[in-house]
Structure 1
Amino acid sequence: MAVRVAVAGASGYAGGEALRLLLAHPEVEIGALTGNSNAGQKLGALQPHLLPLADRVLQETSPDVLAGHDVVFLALPHGQSAAVAEQLGPDVLVVDMGADFRLRNPADWEKFYGSPHAGTWPYGLPELPGGRAALEGSKRIAVPGCYPTAVSLALFPAYAAALAEPEAVIVAASGTSGAGKAAKPHLLGSEVMGSMSPYGVGGVHRHTPR
């Protein structure tokens, strides 16, 4: 029996990537697709590479639309997932691709995001020791961010083999898709072509506490 999956925030980069992967799964049936600011538009106009879903119309993100699914992926802006997740039933597997449930320390969340802490869900990084066991049976999963994922997967083998010192200096570079689809002058092609620019320096980057 196919697993029925909904994607909230299907018009964004994270939602589009989730759909690309889900389309290749033989046991997944793709259900509701939502995108608040793009509700009413066809997905093909926003995600032209997802041809099998091109004629699907995006809906508003609401509990009624997301009800009746086995799995719900939340690809929403930071701070929006918690309100949606709390209205979904305990039997629904909710996978949050945003930051809302990644941090354990409420003080860290309030410092870096400026809002009340919504709670902590198991970290969706099964490649790390104990990671898969932490996810077994859980109906709530927090997907880790780009830098923590890259750094953790790169460093753990060295730490496990005692080949690296406990403290490491990480030099990482990210593409522009991590900033989302909203138009920003400093992320235009003409600005980033052949160049790099620092951001979030001095310990203020939101991935720092992770």
Structure 2
Amino acid sequence: GSEVMGSMSPYGVGGGHRHTPEIVQNLSAVAGSRVSVSFTPTLAPMPRGILATCSAKAQPGVTAESVRAAYEKAFADEPFVHLLPEGQWPATASVYGSNGVQVQVALDESVGRIIAISAIDNLAKGTAGGAVQSMNIALGLPEELGLSTIGVAP
């Protein structure tokens, strides 16, 4: 609505966002141990797209190289997850109308935190895209079937 035009505002602040448990679950799986995450989304004046910046405390001895390697391993066989080259950052315009997600990860050594940034088109990669992807897997069809087309209307 008009209340968001020219304005940005956070929501789900203080760990209250409904997707925080899912983020913790998946990052913990990548890390091999439980991690805690601070996640606050920001509502922006655009019709579709989410740019998420999440951070987690790094375990002692973690390096930027080991974080990158963990992400490369975790997403190596995921057709819709695109781990970007180092130094390139996710952008909502780059995933517009797609079932893809762009991901980048960095280690902020000065504070000992891992920073993970992702961009999705929430109207394509959201529940509908997830349902089609899950149906494909359940029916033994190619996971990408019906999801590689850009789906933008309007």
User: TM-score, normalising length from structure 1?
Assistant: 0.24
Higher-Rg structure is: 1
Taking CA–CA contacts closer than 8 Å with sequence separation of 6 or more, which of the two structures ends up with the larger relative contact order? 2
